[in-house]
Amino acid sequence: MKDCITEYIKQRYGDKIILNDYENKNYCFDIYATDRNINFPIEYKQRYFETGKNDKYLQEYDILIELIQSTPYLKNLDIQRINNNNIYDINISIGWFYKCYSRRLIFFRFLDNNLFDIIDIDFELFKGWFMNNINIFSLQYSNKTTGTINSVVKLKDIPKGYFLYLKKQETNAK
């Protein structure tokens, strides 16, 4: 977990909060946050952009919701022969959005490895809203890693009370 992620969470949710890192240890959340009797899971995403290469996408002010990953695997799956031996691969192919069980979904977006902005979403509210409106979002295929199908969600379309948007200069203010 990057220092700026820890710094933001402590600044936003309390400097005494304890963060337990579970990234790559389960499919439901990345961090479990604890402060006295308050406990909640957090999923975070890091997106990297480079000036002159793909920085124009920062100005789209959107997030990508992964619906399906490993599309090449799914394409070759013999549905007639599904069994317990390949259930793990099928589960991995389902995008993180469906498996995620967190209270907060936080996007950290970087430009040239410097924090550009933070999008902190109430995931419980967002997930229901997204599922009820899934048909209005554009889909995007990315073959960069495992071949993912993402839903492109513009921040302007998300109900305002569901998220907090902070630009870099605002995140460093105490």
Mean pLDDT of 146-158: 94
Unique residue bearing structure tokens 């969600």: 153
pLDDT value of position 173? 44
Give the side-chain half-sphere CA count within 13 A for 20.
Answer: 11
Q: How many CB atoms lie within 10 A of CB 105?
A: 26
Please say whether the beta carbons of 111 and 49 come within 8 A.
yes
pLDDT value of position 1? 62
Mean pLDDT of 138-163: 93
pLDDT value of position 147? 87
Identify the band that residue 18 occupies on the pLDDT scale cut at 50, 70 and 90.
Answer: very high
Taking CA atoms, 94 is separated from 40, 74, 97, 103, 149, in Å, by 23, 10, 8, 20, 10
Dmax (CA) for the chain in angstroms is 58
Domain boundaries, the chain: 3-171
Task: Considering only residues 86 and 108, tell me which one the structure prediction assigns the higher pLDDT.
Answer: 108
pLDDT value of position 145? 73
Beta strand segments in the chain, E? 18-21, 31-35, 38-49, 62-68, 104-111, 114-122, 138-142, 148-154, 163-167
Mean pLDDT of 27-34: 95
Mean pLDDT of 146-159: 95
Share of the chain above pLDDT 90, in %: 73
Identify the band that residue 169 occupies on the pLDDT scale cut at 50, 70 and 90.
Answer: low
pLDDT value of position 170? 53
- Cα 92 to Cα 87: distance, rounded to the nearest angstrom: 9
Identify the band that residue 174 occupies on the pLDDT scale cut at 50, 70 and 90.
Answer: very low
- Cα 32 to Cα 89: distance, rounded to the nearest angstrom: 26
Output the six-digit token pair for 11: 């600044």
Mean pLDDT of 98-111: 96
Fold of 3-171: ECO RV Endonuclease; Chain A (3.40.600)
Mean pLDDT of 50-56: 95
Mean pLDDT of 45-59: 94
